[in-house]
Amino acid sequence: MLFSSVSFLYVFLPAVLLVYGLVPKKWKNHVLLASSLLFYFVGEPIYVLLLIISSLSDWLHSLYIENHRGEKSAKIALVSSLVINLAMLGFFKYADFLLTTVNDLFGTSIPLTKVPLPIGISFFTFQTMSYTIDVYRGDAKAEKNLATFATFVCLFPQLIAGPVVRYTDISTELHERSVCMDDLYIGVKRFVRGLARKVLIANAMGEFCSLYREAAEPSVVFAWLYAIAYALQIYYDFAGYSDMAIGLGRMFGFKFPENFDSPYRSKSITEFWRRWHMTLGGWFRDYLYIPLGGNRVPKARWLLNIAVVWAATGIWHGAAWNFVLWGLYFGALLVLEKLFLGNWLKKLGAVVQHIYVIFTVLVSFVIFNARSLPQIGQDLGRMFGAEGIPLWSSETGTRLSGYFLLFFAAVLFVTPLAEKLIAVMRRKSLGRGIIAVLEPVLIAAAVITVTGFLVDGSFNPFLYFRF
């Protein structure tokens, strides 16, 4: 079930909010757990059992670890939990990728499993692994109540596309939380913001990318517009989903961690990755990079650590070589920035730094969105005039004229201009009054507009469901 669907907006969510508001406090987690399992069942009726097994496994392992803390058996239990999680993730997400690679390398014909990928498996396995590791480290106490722990794992606002919420982020709220009208309003406002970003901008940018793929008259400018469109699509799609997840969490009394912080304003790739998918970056830092030794090791080992982390980051996003290449590409840029490139760029000023970030990120997402390694070469080549394509074509002009205002709005809203304007208005009583009047009107208008698009059956995928 998509957040950006009529059934979710007008049936599922209102029903859950109503029941949740009516039941006594001791039953609220049970309502959330039941509704979350139903939410997942609608999209994955078979794999809901996988979700339950994952929850039960890590709950039992963590209890054993806490009861045998300091003993060798606790470490064995931790390893057991990690092996189960990684085996589950490996089988469903990477088995066919590995078999295809073996077949290609050795000319074999090993049949593929062709097992469908469970939605959200990359997210909920990382969440359960971080929980068990935190219990082993003593950073979290093992949850005694299975229903409470299962609520954490299955919580539908962040179940299928993040943010990657750790148990320690919401452990207090799992046991004691309340929702006032301010929380509800803030949650609705944040949810509608994400919904508008997703449906009105990301979906339209996705349509433009499809038009590029179908183009009869490709051009250099068209190739660059495609790169920009996809970078905007993936940002508004995933940041929009994160907004919706955070807003939904607030409606039920949870404060999920932020996942994006205006990444396209960055002046370096290091800064970009502090602002983009922050919960995933934090996960790899705390549970892979630092345990490997981080940067407190000899330089050769440090470079290896970065390569491992960024190869893992790439492969986490998908079972294909373009994702590995994408991860290593960023890993190489980060190493170069730490060695010399960062200091060199600072001397050239903010404008050059921003151009560098936008250029390298556009290239990265062309790699990310390619369906094969040859397509990476074709897409990047066209951006620099390969294949003898012209700088401009009549089809380029036609498509740009139809999407110009959308590009303008999408680019405008990734700059700080709108936020700065609102901040200035909030400093004055008149500005605060205008915002107080306009904000509910804009929220209502956004909901009505989005509903119109959804009823019309517009293009409406979620990119991160692939990962």
Q: Just list the catalytic residues.
A: 317
* Token pair for 192: 């509608």
Say if residue 164's pLDDT is above 90: yes
When the pLDDT of each residue in the chain is averaged and rounded to a whole number, the result is: 93
Lowest-confidence pick of 180-189, 233-242, 427-436: 427-436
Say if residue 463's pLDDT is above 70: no
CB under 8 A, 24+ apart: contacts of 157-160: 157/244, 157/245, 157/246, 157/248, 157/249, 157/252, 157/254, 157/256, 158/123, 158/245, 158/249, 158/256, 159/36, 159/39, 159/40, 159/120, 159/123, 159/124, 160/40, 160/43, 160/119, 160/120, 160/123, 160/465
Q: What is the pLDDT of residue 467?
A: 53
Give residue-wise pLDDT tens across range 259-294.
999 999 999 999 999 999 999 999 999 999 999 999
Query: What are the distances in angstroms from CA 454 to CA 6, 192, 262, 407?
Result: 7, 14, 27, 21
Q: Model confidence at 456, in pLDDT bands (50, 70, 90)?
A: confident
Say if residue 464's pLDDT is above 60: no
Q: What is the pLDDT of residue 428?
A: 84
How many angstroms separate the CA atoms of 401 and 325, rounded? 34
Give residue-wise pLDDT tens across range 307-346.
999 999 999 999 999 999 999 999 999 999 999 999 999 9
Say if residue 461's pLDDT is above 70: no
Contact between 299 and 339 under an 8 Å Cβ cutoff? The reply is: no
Say if residue 462's pLDDT is above 80: no
Q: Spell out the domain ranges in the chain.
A: 6-177, 183-455
Structure pTM?
0.94
The C-alpha angle with vertex 115 and arms to 114 and 119, in degrees rounded to 5, equals 130
Q: How many helices (H) and strands (E) does the chain have?
A: 23, 0
Say if residue 411's pLDDT is above 70: yes
Q: What is the pLDDT of residue 291?
A: 95
Q: Model confidence at 162, in pLDDT bands (50, 70, 90)?
A: confident
Q: What is the pLDDT of residue 238?
A: 95
Quote the percentage of the chain above a pLDDT of 90. Answer: 85
Q: For the chain, how many residues are written? A: 467
* Token pair for 57: 């496994």
Span 445-452, average pLDDT: 94
Say if residue 466's pLDDT is above 60: no
Span 46-72, average pLDDT: 95
Q: What is the pLDDT of residue 128?
A: 95
Lowest-confidence pick of 188-197, 265-274, 419-428, 456-465: 456-465
The C-alpha angle with vertex 424 and arms to 423 and 428, in degrees rounded to 5, equals 110
Residues near 48 by beta carbon (within 8 Å), at least 6 away in sequence: 37, 40, 41
Span 64-89, average pLDDT: 96
- If one counts every other C-beta atom within 10 angstroms of the C-beta of residue 385, the result is 13
The C-alpha angle with vertex 416 and arms to 415 and 421, in degrees rounded to 5, equals 130
Sign of CA dihedral 138, 144, 146, 148: negative
Say if residue 465's pLDDT is above 60: no
Contact between 205 and 239 under an 8 Å Cβ cutoff? The reply is: no
* Token pair for 185: 């309003």
* Token pair for 61: 């392992």
